[in-house]
Amino acid sequence: MTDKIIEAVLKAVDDSFGVKTQISLVKADPKFGDYATNVAFQVAKDIGKSPPETAEAVIAKLDLGDAGSAEQKGGFINIKLSDSALASELNQATLLPKIGEHKLALVEFGDANPFKDMHIGHLYNTIVGDGISGLFEAYGFSVKRLSYHGDVGLHVAKWIYGVGSEIDFDPTKFTEALSSGGDDPLGYFYARGEKAYTESDEAASKIKEINKHIYAQDDPKINEIYRLGKETSFEQFDKIFALLGVHYNKRYLESETASIGKKLVEENIGKVFEKSQGAVIYEGEAEGLHTRVFITSNDLPTYETKDLGFAVAKDKDYPNAQKSIIITANEQSDYFAVMLAALSKIKPNLAKVTVHLGHGFLSLKAGKMSSREGNVYTAQTLIDEVKKAVETLYPDSPAKHDIYISALRYELMKHKLGSDIVFDINESISLEGNSGPYILYAHARARSILKKSDKQPSPQNKFEPAERRLAIAICGFRQAADEAFEGLKPHTICNYLFGLAGEFNSFYETNRVIGDDREEIRLKLISAYAEILKTGLGALNIPAPEKM
RNA sequence: GCGCCCGUAGUUCAGGGGAUAGAACGUCGGCUUGCGGAGCCGAAGGUCGCAGGUUCGAUUCCUGCCGGGCGUACCA
């Protein structure tokens, strides 16, 4: 509908002044109209008239058909949708264009490294990734959720050193050693190795030696400890993914992509890469980037090389993806710019569809959780805390699971990606304010009203002012969703839903539904409202139970 | 040093050339014998970091500065 209006306005501008331009339609202050455009300001100067005169002239030529009417105020052209146009809009308010039909999108996220903790940053990353995946699915894409893990590299050697020095590198003592690492053996032994690495040269060289054995796989004891540690790690990761309801299509490992990438880099030395000080590097300065090492002077591939191999591996498994999104913390943004620059010279078609999406740093609001000083909070700890808080606040709810999942997911997606965010557990589970449970409650309440009535929702071509206001708000979904999808900004959906719920509560406060003369049309509004809440939450993979 | 991101109410955050800069939390004051009050209405609270520039119009774009985060050759 808005497309048709924009078209009509542009035609009127062209007819009046022979000017071709571009405009957007914004939601107007309700006292002025439903939508507004400032096109008169844009063209007024060129045609030598004041904005109000220009707007009047445009309106004189404007043919909106039965879509609505327009009037000028202070240079703005305010458009009011006709009731019939609004009614038909309302009927298709939940529909999103299936522009991804028969198209494939790859989304990579949740790349926690085995042998290390899955901390709250990984949790954030995982939820954002699954949300972006859901958004693409809502627009009809077939989405493959992929994870990628650094199962080789110095951090692994540090961990093996940490545990190995305790059990004298005897794999049979591994299980016993795990229990001595407390409730978080992975983090515990990694921290030990890390400490030794920085504090002792002897340990550092031993760790580097272990690292070589890991790549070469030529030491049976190290191989076995490695296998056990990796198994333990992924068991933990899978437990968390299952808790969150995240379903991956495929897990990739750096140990698999390393050789593919290394071959690719070696083939392109002198073309894309240069040798320097014994290492193989990519010089990005000419493109405004920086230089990065792809193969070390010890002849080991770095993360960048493995990522090149990963791009190829993904393409082999899922050829012709229209979009490949990589989601990481934004500390890796510059890194990805270099990696993608190198990729664009080797596999331009792959680089073209690849987008890196960076998110900010997640911290927790100071509270009881900060008692574990010096520790990074693990994903599991935060999940447990939120779950526990939900059980206390909603002891009788039949939907506790959905509530705590929604609390987590909503809280992490309601902020614009890229900025650092502070997670407040109490706020995340509260029914007051901009929270997941608030939206869930709004949805459950609407469903309950619909269930209670014995009449059927029925559209009508005439709205009372309060009804049309709600209807307009409901029809805003499409725009919010498009913005979220096109700009990879899930938070626009959260903010929209929160605003919509506020509109509804305000409406519901003074407009009786059941038993009113206008029950059918109001039920229609409520049903559309409930569907929008469910669809919007669903697009971000947030559950919306019927009761809570 | 250089590069990228960020500075909006007491706090957490939206907005991102255009009509009076918004919301939530917190504070204060009202409403409620009704469909889920877990709500609604209202008040107080802002030099949109500072200074220039572009523009009919700048919180928004540009430049500089101040403050913060991240990155910046062999970690990921």
Any idea of the CA torsion for A478, A479, A485, A487, to the nearest 10 degrees?
A: 180
Does residue A391 approach strand B to less than 7 Å at its CB? no
ipTM of this complex prediction, to 2 decimal places: 0.94
- What would the two tokens of residue A485 be? 């999808």
Asked if strand B contacts A331 at the CB level, meaning under 7 A, the answer is yes
- The pLDDT score that the predictor gives to residue A117 is 78
Of residues A190, A330, A345, A203, the one with CA closest to residue A267: A345
Please name the amino acid found at residue A96: L
Question: Gap from A97 CA to B27 C1', in Å?
Answer: 45
Three-state helix/strand/coil letters over A302-325 = CHHHHHHHHHHHHHHHCCCCCEEE
Which nucleotide is closest to the Cα of A298 by its C1'? B74
pLDDT at A165: 86
Tell me the CA–C1' distance in angstroms for A438 and B38: 8
How remote is the C-alpha of A88 from its chain's centroid?
31
Residue A47: which residues within 8 A CB-CB, separation 6 or more? Answer: A17, A19, A54
Asked if residue A511 keeps its beta carbon closer than 7 A to nucleic acid strand B, the reply is: yes
How long is the CA A10 to C1' B38 vector, in angstroms? 47
Residues 293-322 of A with CB under 7 A from strand B: 293, 296-298, 300, 302-303
Nucleotides of B under 7 A from a protein CB: 3-6, 12-15, 18-20, 23-26, 34-41, 56-57, 69-76
The whole-angstrom separation of Cα A62 and Cα A83 is 19
Q: What is residue A368's predicted lDDT score, i.e. its pLDDT?
A: 42
CA distances from residue A293 to A254, A290, A524 in whole angstroms, order as listed? 17, 10, 61
pLDDT in tens, A174-215: 888 887 766 677 778 888 888 888 888 888 889 988 988 888
Report CA A23 to chain centroid distance, whole Å: 29
**CA A307, C1' B38: Å apart?**
48
Are the CB atoms for A63 and A51 separated by under 8 Å?
Answer: no
Whether the CB of A290 is less than 7 Å away from nucleic strand B comes out as: yes
Q: How far apart are CA A442 and CA A429, in angstroms?
A: 14
| A78 sits within 7 Å of strand B by its CB | yes
A394 strand B contact, CB < 7 Å: yes
CA of A306: nucleotide with nearest C1': B76
User: Model confidence over A384-412: pLDDT tens digits?
Assistant: 999 999 998 998 889 999 999 999 999 99
A277 touches strand B (CB under 7 A): yes
Cβ-based contacts (< 7 Å) between A 171-210 and strand B: none
Q: How many CA atoms lie within 13 A of A20 on its CB side?
A: 0
pLDDT for position A543: 94
What six digits make up the tokens of A102?
């028969």
Pairing between β-strand A279-282 and β-strand A292-295 as defined by DSSP bridges: antiparallel
Closest alpha carbon to C1' of B32, residue:
A509
Q: Which of residues 138-167 of A touch strand B (CB under 7 A)?
A: 150, 153-155
**Whether the model pTM is above 0.90:** yes
Residue ranges in chain A whose pLDDT is less than 50: 368-375
The helix/strand/coil state of A248 is coil
SS (H, E, C) A407-476: HHHHHHHCCCCCCCEEECHHHHHCCCCCCHHHHHHHHHHHHHHHHHCCCCCCCCCCCCHHHHHHHHHHHC
The position carrying tokens 């987008």 is: A355
pLDDT at A372: 38
